[in-house]
Every structure is written in structure tokens, then in C-alpha cells.
Chains A and B, each alone.
Chain A
Amino acid sequence: MEFDPGLFIELFTRMFGFWWVILPAILLGLVVGAIPGFSAANTIIILLPLTLSMDPEIGLVFMVAIYASSRMGAGIPAILVNIPGTAGAAATPLDGYPMTKQGRSHQALAISFVSSVAGGLLTTIMALLAMPWLSQVAYYLHSVEMIVVMLFGISLIASIAARDTLKGLIAGFFGLMIGLIGADVVYATPRGTMGLLELYDGVPLIPALVGLFAISEAFVVIERRSILSDEGQRLMEEAGWAETWEGVKIACSKWWHIAWTSIIGLVIGVVPGAGASIASFVAYQQSRTYSKTPELYGTGHVEGLVAPESANNGVTSGTLIPLLVIGIPGGATAAIMLVVLQYHGVTVGPDLFNDKPQLAYAPFTAMAVTYFLMIFTILPLARYMSKVTVVSTTYMAPIIISFTLVGAFVSRDYMFDMYLALAFGVIGYVARKTGYHVAAILIGVILGPLLETYFLRALKMSQGDIMVLFSSRLGNVLWVGLFLSVGLSLYFEKRKKPGNADDG
């Protein structure tokens, strides 16, 4: 795996030659990413007969392009109508949707696109250059360390609670309790399932996501004429290409923020089993902690949008590293790619880099080219996509509800999930009306089960000794970082007056 500039130049040139595969895959990825319940993984599964019939290199390029673009696609409805397409985009609407309500959706989309592309491109290039070292991350981040990483994300609840301690903690605790529903990961004993088979595997994420964010929002906006504020309405009427360009400039001015939050995504992505949902919340929490204006987060703050979008695109390249270097897929989509590669007789692992370097490096060069082509494909569309926000809520609210109910259904094909989404919609509506933070509930629902998995595993390994949590040197360093991070965050929060928070 030595760096060979000649090989990389040849590979990039070759990948640009596959533009005819990449461009349709980008469009497909953007569409499926934007539909709640769909994802790159299940799209690639549906298209397996097609990819299996392709030449392995072309098939790989096609899958990688869908993977990268679907990640960006998931952010679009999250920003425009408060519907995160996947759990990886769950932190995007926290600041993206308030920007839309303020009539800044052109800007928000442009910022999201530039952050995604820049974050994805940067981490892809880093992955190419530092693959042997990055692959080692998985050897150090075990269950104990992952518990602490997870707590970085969950500590966002504490930051939210700083505005209204009791309500913030109740909402977070409620989310964590919901996250515990389902069979436990060690003995598969069902807990809180009420005898419902559909809950054995835990509360499904997509119905919870779309219910808490989108359906509850639809219930709220139906009380108004538009999802936009009056000022937002005016801004949208005047908005044009200049606003899109303004968004690009704002995102470019946050280049350092994009860089470090995307690296968080890359590192978390390398760990098998970790994913974009962890990365985006951790990046958001870190961004907030070290911000000079943490009180603005949740109100349509640019950095609050940049952080999750850069991080979840950083994860994309990260998950491919363990697949190619040690033969272990870092996530669901990478696992499906492995099936395709195996079908073609390609053995992944260190030998691939010696035997077929073109194929080994192809996913990363394809990803870099995809990101490069994506910005030219998607940016001009920002203006037109934004128009959706001016549609009257008389039409928009029912469309959102129907769209999200279908999304809730398609991920598992259970009617139950549609009812569940509606139930979460009602919970979200009540929470909004009573001042409880929907995001705090959602953090608990998304990260709670993951935290529990690592926690129970660590306890089982130590045979019940709780001190296992402090048994690793790296883990202890992370604990110190966590306490500093939460402490500083709360300290700065208390020093400032509470902002005009909106949970989006």
C-alpha cells in the first residue's frame, strides 16, 4: 500500500472516464437518499441483479456513487421540510430547518452541498493517503472507548437541558427509555415490547425519525399558512441565484470547520458497526462545545448545519477502509459491496492492494470523482428545490404526512411502522407545544440502543465489573475529554443568556 503518484493519476483519469456511470448513479442516489426509509444499502440490494451483471470495477463505481450521493440526498428533505431521510441526517434539521423557516433555504442547501462535498472529498483523499494508519483505528476503539464516543453525542442532551434543565433531561431520558425497547443484545430477552413482534428488534429508527421531526412539524405548520415566517416569505420571494452563491461563499469561509468535523466522521466511520448517526451527533456536539456562540445552535446557525453534513459524508469513506484493508465491512452498505465483490471472485484484504491495486483504490478514487461531479450536478438545483417551501401548508402538510408514512412503511414493509410514525408524530407535537425538546428525545432513541449494545458487551466481557469502563488508557483519555467537553459546554452556556432556541 505504498503511495504511487503515477497510479493515482492514472486512476483518477480512468474514473473520470466513467462519468456515464457516475452521473446517473448520482441522480439515483440523491433521489433515494431523499426518500425516507430508502438508503444506499437497500437501493444497492434492489439493484443487485444489475450490479452483479456489470464488470466488477464498473459495478463498484456505480455502488460507490450511489452511496456517496444518497448521503447528501438525505440532507435535502431534512433541510427543506424537516424530514431526515436517514438516521445519519438526523442532526441536519436541527439548524437546517430553522434556516428554511427564515427563508434561507437556498443558502442552507448550498451550505449543505458544499460541506458534504468538501467533507467527503477531503476525507476520501485522506483515506487514500493514510489508509494503512486509519485502518488501525478499529484496533484501538473497542467497546469501552465506543461507550465514551457515544456519550459525546448523548451529552448533547445535557447542552439542551442547560436551557431548561428539567424539560431537557426528561425529554432525553424519555428518548433513552424508548431506545431500550426490544430484545437485549446478550440474551435476546424482550423488554417493553408489549408482546408486539414488530418491536422485538427495538423501536425502528425511520418511523421514530419521521414521526418526531416531520409529522409533528406537519401538525404544527397546518395551523399556519406557510412553513415560512413572514420575513422568510418575503426573503423567499426575492431569493435567486445570489442567495445560492452566498451559501457557497459562507460554506467556503467555514473550511476549517468542515475539515475537522469531517475528520470526526472519517474516524468514527472506520470503526465497524459505528455509523453516520453517531458521527453527526458527535460532530454537532463538538462544534457546539467549541463555538463562540453555542446559544445560536438550533436557531439556524451555519456551523450547526456544516458539522453534521461534513461528518456524515466523512463516514462514507471511513466505512470502506476496514472493508478493503482488513476485509471487514464498516457498515451495511459496505457489507453489500462485499457481496458484489465476492460474487465476482474478488477477495478483499491486504493482498488486493498488491494483486489488483486498480480495484483496491477504485472505491476511493470513484468516490472523489463522484463528489467532484456531484457539486456541479446538485448546486444549480438548489434554487428550484427551495421552491417547495413556498407551497401552502394546506397542500404541504398532507403531502409531508403521506410521504413520511410511506417512508416509514418501506424500510421494513410493516403497516405497524406507519402507526408508530403517527404515534411519534403525536408525541413530537405534544413535546413541541409543551416546550420539550424533540431533538433530545431523538438523540436518546438513536444513540441509546447503540450505547446499550457497547455497554452490555463491555460488562459481559468484564463479567459484570463496572470498572471495565476505566480499564483502557485510550478510554480514560476520552473520559477526560468528555468531562472537559461537557463541563466547558455547560459553563459557557450558563455564562450566556438563553438564546431564542427552536428545536426545529
Chain B
Amino acid sequence: MTHFDRGASRRAFLKGTAAAGVAATLPLSSAFGASFPERNMQVYVPTREGGGADRNQRAFAGVWKKYLNTEFEAAFYPGAAGRVAYEKYMGLAKADCHELIFGNMGPEVLNWVVEPPTFDLNDFMYFARVDADPGIVFVKRDGPLQTIDDIVAEGKKRTLNVGVSRLAHPATLGMLALGRHTGAQFNPIPLSGGKNTRAGVETGEMDFGALPAGGIVNRPKNFKVVLMFTHKNPLPDLSDNAPTVNAKFGTSLPDLVAGARAYGIKKAAIEKYPDRYKILTESLLKVFDDPEYKEAIIRTKAPWELIGYGGPEECATYAKAMTDIGKDYKDLLTGKS
């Protein structure tokens, strides 16, 4: 080693030490925020692979990764109607904004009405809704019941079996509310997911079904939508211009959006790393305007009309509405009445 080398090395060492000292005096979160994300994003999904949430998350994350410059890894925990995923997330995920959960808010919030989770709900929040898929009533295209009037009339003569994804689900609540209002007898049968529910209606084991619209309107040869549980029908052309429940029956139900898929996060992560959270929210907004995202959604045959951003406030309002109506029907959802 020459003197020059030694001097250069010493200078480099001193410079490096000084830089490290300056960096150490900066707020920790800013230092990390500048390089966020530092690793792949982890997404907990409370449903099975191949379902609606998987499809939406895959399409969304496929574009979002471009703006975050990292990959997304999804882990699926479909146990106990999604409960396992939330418990795992709140128990295991690091509160550093790299780990998120992506679920369908309605059914999952209703789960907690039926049985509270082990974690404190105030420690968690949904921060970005990616779609608003209305709850609908649907029938088999060539089945005996063809309109909502047929269903209500038949339901007054005999109890009709309604295929639903889960009992604690906005579409199920819509059916129970409709039955309460019209006096028709509906017996919701939980069939563990949209796929099985569609099979139940298609094969005639169920009299009709109630699900989010997205998985039904893209199968017009098999099914016909006969009622929407929202104040407005966002898919008139794809749903045979199905009436909305409040307009048709004069009810005053809140919007029962059955598919409101959203990203959730630990509040501790936001408090600890506000700059990272800002990067997350700013980057995800860009996805909605990206033609690549629209292309990905259309390719999956999901209606683009149902895609739309909802911020933390909208998510909180929706979760509260679901909680309130869930409490109203808690006995029916738990089999106590």
C-alpha cells in the first residue's frame, strides 16, 4: 500500500463516518422512506387462489409494482371465512408498510360482527378500495323463476333456497332484508364461495342465488340478474336492466356492495412510517389511470364499470354501514333465530 493509497483510504473512511453520523441524526422514517420499498411487498389474501379477490389483486398489483418498483407476493389464507388471514396478518405481519392485506370488506367486516376477532379492530384499517361490486339476485337463465316478482310470489307460497357465498355476506343480508320486507320466505344456504354458488344455481339445487354482480354478468348464457342491492344499477346493459331494491320495493336499504375489495394495513405501520404510507397511497392512485390496468381487468372479463377508488374515509363509512346492518341480523347469521 502506498502513502497515497493510505491517505485516500483514510479520507474515504472519515467521509463515510461523517455521512453515517449525519444519517444517524435524521429521523429514522425519512431515512427509510427514501428507499421504500426495501423488499418485495407481501399481501395476505383471505380467500382461495383463483377467486375474485385473487383475480383483482393480481390485476392491480401487476400494475402497481411498476410504480413501486418492486414485486408483490400474495399468500392465501382462506380459513374460517377469511378470519385466519386477518388473525395471521395482525399477529405476524411487520408494521413497516411492506405487508398489506387484500380482502372483500363486506363479508370480512360481517365476520367480526358474528364473532369479534382476537385483535383490536382499532389497530387496523382499510385504506384503498379498488372496486364496488353490487350485491345482486340472480336466476338460472332458463330456470322456472325469471323475475324478482316471480321469486317474491313463489317465496310467499314456499320457502325458497337461496345459494349464497357465506351467511355473513352483504348479498345474504340483502336477501334477508327483502324477505323481511315482502313477507317471502328465503332460506340462505352458504356454499363456500362464488364458484360453488354459481354451480348450485346452475345445477338447480338452489332456487336462485345472491352474489356480487361481477361473477354473474360475465356469464349471460347461464344466468340472469333480477335485482340489485344498490341505489343505482351500474351495469344496466349487462344485467338486463335489473331494478334496484329500493326503487322496486320502496325499501331504504343502504348500498349493499357485496364485492368491495380493498387493501388494509396496520395502523401502527402508518404511524411509524407516514412517508412510506404516502408513497403507497400516491402510487396506487396512478394505477387507476393506467391503461394497462384497464386492459388487465377487461381481460379477466370483470366489468370495468365496477372499478373505482375509495379512500380510507369511504372504506370506514362502508365498514360501519355493514357493521350496523350486520348487528341487526346477527341472530339470523348465527342461527340463533
Which residues of A line the B interface, CB within 8 A? 41-42, 45, 138-139, 142-143, 182-183, 185-190, 197-198, 200-201, 272-273, 322, 326-329, 332, 335-336, 338-339, 342-345, 347, 349-351, 413, 453, 457, 460-461, 463
Contacts and interface: CB of A to CB of B under 8 A. Distances in A.
5 cross-chain pairs, A with B, having the tightest CB-CB distances, nearest first = A201-B79, A200-B80, A335-B50, A272-B199, A142-B205
B199 A461 contact: no
B204 interface: yes
Contacts of A200: 79-80, 83-84
Contacts of A457: 189, 191
Contacts of A344: 299
A349 B204 contact: no
B50 A272 contact: no
A446 to B, nearest CB: 18
Contacts of A185: 190, 192
B81 A183 contact: yes
Interface in B184-233: 187, 189-192, 195-196, 198-199, 202-205, 218-219, 221-222
Given A197-B87, A345-B301, A190 B80 contact: yes
Interface stretch (B161-169, B246-254, B273-281): B161-169
Given A187-B333, A200-B84, A350 B203 contact: no
10 contacts: A45-B49, A183-B79, A188-B80, A188-B167, A197-B79, A272-B203, A335-B49, A335-B50, A345-B301, A347-B218
B335 interface: yes
Contact size class for B? 35 or more
Given A200-B84, A351-B221, A342 B167 contact: no
Contact of A326 (B75, B202, B333): B202
A187 B192 contact: no
Interface in B228-282: none
A67 to B, nearest CB: 14
A188 B301 contact: no
Interface string B149-193: 000000000010100001110000000000000000001011110
Contacts of A351: 221
B278 to A, nearest CB: 30
A338 B199 contact: no
B285 interface: no
Contacts of A198: 84
Given A273-B196, A344-B299, 16 more contacts: A45-B49, A138-B199, A139-B204, A188-B111, A197-B79, A197-B83, A197-B88, A200-B80, A200-B84, A201-B79, A329-B50, A332-B49, A336-B50, A460-B187, A463-B159, A463-B187
Nearest to A344: B299
B334 interface: yes
Interface in B10-68: 48-50, 54-55
Contacts of B301: 342, 345, 347
A41 B48 CA distance: 11
A345 B218 CA distance: 11
B323 to A, nearest CB: 17
Interface in B68-83: 75, 78-81, 83
A460 B114 CA distance: 19
A338 B50 contact: yes
B143 to A, nearest CB: 12
A187 B337 CA distance: 12
Contacts of A322: 199
Nearest to A199: B79
A188 B81 contact: yes
Interface string B75-118: 10011110110011000000000000000000000010011000
Contacts of B187: 460-461, 463
Nearest to B185: A463
Nearest to A350: B221
Contacts of B9: none
Contacts of A461: 161, 187, 189, 205
Given A186-B167, A186-B335, A349-B219, A201 B299 contact: no
A461 B185 CA distance: 12
A326 B192 contact: no
Contact of A342 (B49, B79, B83, B299): B299
Contacts of A347: 218, 301
Contacts of B87: 197
A197 B84 contact: yes
Contacts of B79: 183, 197, 200-201
A468 to B, nearest CB: 11
Interface in B124-168: 159, 161, 166-168
Contact of A201 (B54, B80, B219): B80
A197 B114 CA distance: 17
A139 B203 contact: yes
The interface centre, meaning the residue of A185, A328, A338 with most chain B CB atoms within 10 A of its CB, is A328
A339 B50 CA distance: 6
Contacts of A42: 49
Nearest to A349: B221
Contacts of A143: 205
